[in-house]
Amino acid sequence: MAMGKTSDWDEKFDIPGCVRFMEGVGDLPMLSVTTEWSSAEIYLQGAHITHFQKKNEPPLLFLSQVSRFAEGQPIRGGIPIILPWFGSREGQQVAHGFARTKTWELKEILPAKDGSVSLRFRMPESGEDAGFPPFSAEYLVTLRDTLSLRLTVTNKSADRELAFEDCLHTYFNVGDINAVSITGLTGVSYLDKVENFARKTETADVIKISSEVDRVYLDTTGTVEIQDDKLRRKIRVEKENSASTVVWNPWIAKAQQLPDFGNEEYQTMVCVESGNVGKNGVKLAPGQAASLSVKLSSAAF
């Protein structure tokens, strides 16, 4: 589906009361999805989920009020898809890969008898894939009272190994970063990007954020929980086939340096990202596939 043909999509995929197509911010094509329990907004650029909210709860995801919404520019907030590399890469001007700036194709919408709705996206191939063996990426998003995500990468090459990194770079909305506690990473080794990638071990049972945090936790497959005392909510991040967890908050100075991030917005967000980065990157033999799955849930307390 090409950009700018919203009416064509309506005819093929619109489900009254459930899925609606519209022009989003910056006239970028967007889907609005409603279930019995929740609502969501997904941009085709990057197959980027910018909004998910359960009924009678605050939004689960943070979205910067000054994010760029322009073709080919990454959206700041929500859940960017990081693929096929994480962070900076030699010879590439763009950080975090090209998946988050491509316009993905919506392949199908699958309403289920239990009231949930699944949407399947596929990343189109393009010249930007040069340097990698041919591969495909599909993304299955399932909405109900939880948000479930599955990113599947397949090596299409007949004779070359595919090596890549992937990450679902989730920005969570919190009431006050000073009232947030993160658990589930005790004893895990991590790279501290704030201190020049120094390798450390997490000794705290509860992680509190009071300065810039940018950590890549390695060899960890466990569930992480975010307790938000201000919003009286606990967020649960469950994952499969993910060996890395990234925790990020830019804090004051870094927030002021980011042109698409408000100076004070660090106070109401935290990123807890699930993926496979650095030494945990994925290698696929010809014809092999790998799926990264994440389930996000929340409950008041």
Chain segment 81-138, per-residue pLDDT in tens = 999 999 877 767 678 999 999 999 999 999 999 999 999 999 998 655 768 999 999 9
Out of 6-15, 138-147, 238-247, 273-282, pick the least confident.
6-15
**How many other C-beta atoms lie within 10 A of the C-beta of residue 86?**
25
Predicted confidence band of residue 3 (pLDDT cuts 50, 70, 90): very low
Tell me, what's the pLDDT at 2? 41
Q: What is the pLDDT of residues 216-265, one digit of tens each?
A: 999 999 999 999 999 999 999 999 999 999 999 999 999 999 999 999 99
Which residue ranges form the domains of the chain, and what is each CATH number?
Answer: 1-173 (2.70.98.10), 174-279 (2.70.98.10)
Mean pLDDT of all residues in 296-300: 97
Q: What is the pLDDT of residues 141-198, one digit of tens each?
A: 999 999 999 999 999 999 999 999 999 999 999 999 999 999 999 999 999 999 999 9
Predicted confidence band of residue 30 (pLDDT cuts 50, 70, 90): very high
- Residue pair 212/194 in contact by the 8 Å Cβ criterion: yes
Q: What is the pLDDT of residues 48-83, one digit of tens each?
A: 999 999 999 999 999 999 999 999 999 999 999 999
Tell me, what's the pLDDT at 8? 54
Tokens standing for residue 280: 């945990």
**How many other C-beta atoms lie within 10 A of the C-beta of residue 266?**
21
Give the residue, 34 or 131, on which the prediction is more confident.
Answer: 34
Is pLDDT of 26 > 60?
Answer: yes
Q: 242: buried, middle or exposed (CB in 10 Å: 19+, 13-18, 0-12)?
A: buried
Our answer to whether residue 195 is catalytic in this structure is no
Could you tell me which of 33, 238, 226 has the C-alpha nearest to residue 149?
A: 238
Residue 242, helix vs strand vs coil: coil
Q: State which H helix or E strand residue 217 sits in.
A: strand 213-217
Calpha distance 263→266 (Å, rounded):
7
Q: CA triplet 258, 259, 261: central angle to 5 degrees?
A: 65
Tell me, what's the pLDDT at 94? 75
Is pLDDT of 12 > 90?
Answer: no
**Which amino acid, one-letter code, is at 7?**
S
Tell me, what's the pLDDT at 4? 42
Is pLDDT of 39 > 90?
Answer: yes
Residue with tokens 């990234």: 246
Global pTM reads 0.95
Mean pLDDT, the chain, whole residue set: 94
Tell me, what's the pLDDT at 127? 58
Our answer to whether residue 273 is catalytic in this structure is yes
Give the residue, 213 or 7, on which the prediction is more confident.
Answer: 213
Tell me, what's the pLDDT at 174? 98
C-alpha distances in Å from residue 218, one per residue of 78, 202, 268, 281: 23, 11, 26, 10
**Which amino acid, one-letter code, is at 150?**
R
Predicted confidence band of residue 10 (pLDDT cuts 50, 70, 90): low
Of 165, 169, 202, 265, the catalytic one is 169
Residue with tokens 């197509």: 21
Q: 258: buried, middle or exposed (CB in 10 Å: 19+, 13-18, 0-12)?
A: middle
Cross-sheet strand order for the sheet of 48-54:
19-23, 29-34, 38-43, 48-54
Give the DSSP letter of residue 127.
G
